[in-house]
Amino acid sequence: MNKQKRLIALILALAAGIMAFVPERMRAMDGVSAKSAILIEQHSGRVLFAKDAYTKRRIASITKIMTAILAIESGKMDDTVTVSARAVRTEGSSIYLRQGEKIKLRDLVYGLMLRSGNDAAVAIAEHVGGSVEGFVFLMNQKAAEIGMRDTEFANPHGLDDAENHYSTAYDMALLMQYAMKNKEFRRISGTKVYRAPAPPGEDGARVWRNKNKLLTSLYEYCTGGKTGYTKRAHRTLVTTASKGGIDLIAVTLDAPDDWNDHIAMYEYGFSHYHIAKVSSERVVDKISDPFYRGRLQAVRDLRYPVTDKEESGLRVKVYLLKLRKEWEKYPERAPTEVGKAVLYLHQKAVDSVPLLYEPGKEGSGRGFLWQVFRFLGVRSDG
């Protein structure tokens, strides 16, 4: 009996030892209720957490992120839209449009994102794409442009009316990353309450409160997002959050406890990652070639999300064009872009910025250079 107890104790000890070597990120996946989930850093797109993130699934109303960004990019946000019978008859969640009423496209996009109006989605599609079918073509065209390789759209709202309407958690994160580059999308996505003009014959205004509870009450760092639900897709959710200089995107598909899933992923991301940064000034200050020194500008800082352990593995490598003799005599003949600075995490390039030549600036002398292979240490404070 004692031998059996010792054997059990040994097995438990071995199991504990094995678990100690399993990355914390992998163990954290067990607590996420979603069938598919992903957490990425918004600017770099680095995946910080993933659970079955590349499986094609139904996506429900998070489809409307694509509908919204296409409407915004159309340049027609101040257009007046006449609501069709087809829009009014659309099933599911609604902002209760009336056939023949006239409403600004901008108001429709707010109703789409805050209240998930399926009628608004059809009205937007018909106005921007000429028809729902024409708009779906634009949706799939944009998906291909963004790199959403495992996505197909069949409608502008996400209802379960077609089999060929699906995406993945990863692809939806790519879509949100793309959309968040647009200032107007960020503003709409992060709006808690919006007032639109009342329908014809009514006083006051339509008041729409955002369905995204992370934004309105549950998570102080949430900056926006889109909810979704259908009987076949179940609960879907895309949100964004920012804290301490790091911006994150979370996606869950088929998640019974999606609010808590997103909070848990965000807390993991904020507690384990920070943005390591090399300022643009620091990059060019380290260039010693006499011709280029004092005449270069990096277009922005280098930045990448890392853990504390990873930070020591960051290096910057600067590459410059071979100097031509005529440039020494006629500096204005040098091209505008003369090189790049690349940030590496170990051997992998994770960010890069062009280096621009400014001939009007005084250099510190003359020189000849093929490439500069200079490594700079990286500090998170830049």
Active-site entry in 84, 93, 116, 189: 116
Give me the catalytic one of 36, 61, 84, 167.
Answer: 61
380 is catalytic: no
Q: Is 226 annotated as a binding residue?
A: yes
Q: Please tell me which residue in 51, 64, 211, 277 is annotated as part of the active site.
A: 64
For the chain, what is the HEC assignment?
Answer: CHHHHHHHHHHHHHHHHHHHHCCHHHHHHHHCCCCEEEEEECCCCCEEEEECCCCCECCHHHHHHHHHHHHHHCCCCCCEEECCHHHHCCCCCCCCCCCCCEEEHHHHHHHHHHHCCHHHHHHHHHHHHCCHHHHHHHHHHHHHHHCCCCCECCCCCCCCCCCCCEECHHHHHHHHHHHCCCHHHHHHHCCCEEEEECCCCCCCEEEEECCCHHHHHHCCCEEEEEEEEECCCEEEEEEEEEECCEEEEEEEECCCCHHHHHHHHHHHHHHHCEEEEECHHHHHHCCCCCCCCCCEEECCCEEEEECCCHHHHEEEEEEECCCCHHHHHCHHHCCCEEEEEEEEECCEEEEEEEEEECCCCCCCCCCCCCCCCCEEECCCCC
Task: Verify whether residue 64 is a known catalytic residue.
Answer: yes
Tell me if residue 131 is catalytic: no
- Binding residue ranges for substrate: 226
- Binding residue ranges: 226
Catalytically active residues, by annotation: 61, 64, 116
